[in-house]
A and B are shown apart, each in its own frame.
Chain A
Amino acid sequence: MKKLTLLAIAILFAGLSAQAQSFYSFEYSTALPTGSLSKYTSAYSWRGVAFSQRYAKDNNLSFGFDFSWNVFYEKMENASFEYRNSTVTGNQYRYDNSFAFLLGSEYNFTPFGKVQYFAGLGAGTTRGLRALDIGQYRFSVNTWHFAVRPQVGLYYNLGAVNALKVSASYLQNFKVTDKDAYGCLSFNVGFLFR
């Protein structure tokens, strides 16, 4: 429901700003797990994408919508976990999928340069799907989190319309009943289209 609400807001926002100059970017995203996620899986994620849509308010400031998806995975061979008087041993396959839907803003410090530096901040919600497979069984916990994401990066202009985008961001997902706070530090590379 939150996702739908957020999408509706984003589309409304897009509609209101249709006349403003806009640009979007698509990036390949890698990520380092932090917080409770790093306890669940410490493996670096090489599977991820990030999409961002921006409407320029002026030369420096822009607002828009961000979406990202990072997949974390780790196989733990012959691992045990204990619960009360029980011990369960087997190969564990640990998955975490985090989908972030954020409203974002960014400030471009050097809007007319060949290389443009920016910093941004986003806030919204993350859908976290976490699953542990052992034997033929799956234990899963799926949650919605309030999320914030600061970001820094640069655009390297390739021409009038396109630019190379390199960015780093930190997605912080706040604690909910079924899952502790967690996050990921992402390093992304992709293209900006104006």
Chain B
Amino acid sequence: MNIKNQLSSFGMALVMAVVMLSGCYPDGPEYYSDTDVVITHYDDAFDFGTVKTYAIPDSIPKISDELFSDPDGDGKPDFVNSLYANTILSTMRAQLNALGWTEVDKTANPDVTVFLTATTSENLYAYYNMYYWDWYYPGYWGGWGWYYPGYYPVEYVSVNTGTLFMQMADMRNSGVDDKLNAVWTGVINGLLSGSATDINKRINNTVEQAFTQSPYLKP
């Protein structure tokens, strides 16, 4: 066999290899739920065992920019549709109550407050302006911002499409330099597609997962 034939047979073998392997190359995600990711992060210097009470706002702002803007002038951000917000809030409450914590009004000095925000843009706003919460704590947090003691809430991934961002703020020790200490954060990210029933089921599963993978929250 001469060199030309050898090279052509080698080329042919390579083409066959590529065709064979590309034909049966493994598949990735098949269902929307296959794209769901739950990320949690916490401040290991914080003693979650000391938490007895929590407050949780009953609406979920949609964050579209770090700076709060109010084009309709009602002093409130846009909120997540109650079709989904109700599922998120009821699942969150069930999980927080299961820790043995008691929900109290924001005026009753809760140990922690759990802030829920959502975004459908490509970015996660971890340092968004506190004016987003002015409707909940009117006139309270002018010029404040978020602080993450010793960590960044999403250190190694970017966040995309539908994201629920959960921030647990330490209400007893916040305020230094106008910062609110987020001692626990959870990020739930997935493709925002499928039926409402399907999405609610995924919300329920992923919020539960966020607590399952955070055993240090339990006293």
| A interface list, Cβ under 8 A from B | 11, 14-15, 18, 22-24, 26, 28, 47-49, 51, 53, 67, 69, 71, 73, 78, 80, 83-91, 93, 95, 133-137, 193-194
Is B43 part of the contact surface with A, judged by Cβ < 8 Å?
yes
Nearest CB in chain B to that of A11: its residue: B7
Nearest CB in chain A to that of B184: its residue: A85
**Are A88 and B16 in touch, CB under 8 angstroms?**
no
**Are B155 and A86 in touch, CB under 8 angstroms?**
yes
**Are A87 and B40 in touch, CB under 8 angstroms?**
yes
**Are A88 and B37 in touch, CB under 8 angstroms?**
yes
**Are A89 and B25 in touch, CB under 8 angstroms?**
no
**Are B190 and A135 in touch, CB under 8 angstroms?**
yes
Sample of 5 further A-B pairs with CB below 8 A, known A71-B21, A90-B37: A49-B21, A69-B21, A78-B209, A84-B155, A86-B155
Contact string against A for B residues 27-66, beta-carbon threshold 8 Å, 1 for contact and 0 otherwise:
0110000111111111110000000000000000000000
| Cβ distance B203 to chain A, nearest Cβ, rounded Å | 15
A26–B14 Cα distance when bound, in Å, is 9
**Are A95 and B26 in touch, CB under 8 angstroms?**
yes
Counting residue pairs across A and B whose Cβ atoms lie within 8 Å, the total is 105
Q: A51-B14, A69-B17 are in contact. Are A137 and B37 (CB under 8 A)?
A: yes
| Cβ distance B73 to chain A, nearest Cβ, rounded Å | 36
A178–B16 Cα distance when bound, in Å, is 31
Nearest CB in chain A to that of B2: its residue: A18
Contact string against A for B residues 2-25, beta-carbon threshold 8 Å, 1 for contact and 0 otherwise:
110011011001101100110011
**Are B213 and A93 in touch, CB under 8 angstroms?**
no
| Cβ distance B161 to chain A, nearest Cβ, rounded Å | 7
| Cβ distance A30 to chain B, nearest Cβ, rounded Å | 12
| Cβ distance B197 to chain A, nearest Cβ, rounded Å | 20
Chain A interface, >50% SS class? strand
A73–B39 Cα distance when bound, in Å, is 24
**Are A89 and B26 in touch, CB under 8 angstroms?**
no
Report which of B20, B35, B36, B191 forms a contact with A49, defined as CB distance below 8 A.
B20
**Are A88 and B17 in touch, CB under 8 angstroms?**
no
A84–B213 Cα distance when bound, in Å, is 14
**Are A89 and B28 in touch, CB under 8 angstroms?**
no
- 169-216 of chain B: CB within 8 A of chain A: 189-191, 209, 213-214
Is B157 part of the contact surface with A, judged by Cβ < 8 Å?
yes
| Cβ distance B202 to chain A, nearest Cβ, rounded Å | 12
**Are B17 and A51 in touch, CB under 8 angstroms?**
yes
Nearest CB in chain A to that of B28: its residue: A93
Report which of B1, B2, B9, B213 forms a contact with A89, defined as CB distance below 8 A.
B213
What A residues does B214 contact at CB under 8 A? 87
Nearest CB in chain A to that of B156: its residue: A83
A84–B34 Cα distance when bound, in Å, is 25
Q: A26-B16, A137-B158 are in contact. Are A89 and B38 (CB under 8 A)?
A: yes
Those 3 A-B pairs whose CB atoms lie nearest each other, nearest first: A135-B37, A73-B26, A90-B37
Report which of B43, B158, B161 forms a contact with A85, defined as CB distance below 8 A.
B43
Nearest CB in chain A to that of B9: its residue: A24
Q: A86-B155, A89-B213 are in contact. Are A47 and B25 (CB under 8 A)?
A: yes
A146–B174 Cα distance when bound, in Å, is 54
What B residues does A135 contact at CB under 8 A? 35-37, 157, 189-190
A141–B14 Cα distance when bound, in Å, is 24
What A residues does B151 contact at CB under 8 A? 84-86
